[in-house]
Amino acid sequence: MKPFVFTAALLLAPITAPTAWAAPFADPAAIDAAVAQFTGVPLGSTGGAAQPVDRRLRLRPCANPLSIGWYGSRRDTVLVQCPDVGSWRLFVPLLVTAGPADAPAVLRGEGVTIAVTGPGFSVSQPGEALDGGAVGAWIRVKSTTAGGQPMRARIVRPGLVEVQLTGE
């Protein structure tokens, strides 16, 4: 009987032991605090993180300080990275208020996607805005891959312009 009890105790040990040995995770509250310090605005306020980092994330702790910076030219997202080799990165959206209807959706010099559409087809290519404008405005753009000849395109949404070809 004693060997059986001893064996059962050994079988139960691996089941309970991993919880005691579990690796710690990066603290999401510390990430929230770092984003608030970077933006200078508290969580949930205009200009600050729109919502807290998801508490279900199990991110490896960083041996080095977090790297925090703007993601994109609009400054509406913060990129948080653990600089350790092979580690993680998070994109934290900020709470922004809707601007006026004529607010620029595309800025001059900004990279855009140029969608050329026609009856039954649509092709897109990377390009550069030569003018800025709001959604619905016509601006000059040039392709960064096809010779770069300027053309007129209509702004569909931020980062996307469209050239419509008619089939006659």
Q: What is the pLDDT of residues 6-58, one digit of tens each?
A: 334 344 444 444 444 445 899 999 999 999 999 898 998 888 899 999 999 99
Structure token pair of residue 152: 């007129």
Q: How confident is the model at residue 4 (pLDDT cuts 50, 70, 90)?
A: very low
pLDDT for residue 96 is more than 50: yes
- Nearest Cα neighbor of 105 from 131, 76, 134 is 134
Q: Model pTM?
A: 0.48
In this prediction, residue 13 carries a pLDDT of 41
Nearest to 144 by CA among 111, 106, 108, 107: 111
Q: What is the pLDDT of residue 102?
A: 61
Structure-token match 């000849």, residue found: 149
Q: What is the 3-state secondary structure (H, E, C) of the chain?
A: CHHHHHHHHHHHHHHHHHHHHCCCCCCHHHHHHHHHHHHCCCCCCCCCECCCCCCCCCCCCCCCCCEEEECCCCCCEEEEECCCCCCCEEEEEECCCCCCCCCCCECCCCEEEEEEEECCEEEEEEEEECCCECCCCEEEEEECCCCCCEEEEEEEECCEEEEECCCC
Degrees to nearest 5, angle at CA 76 with 133 and 108: 25
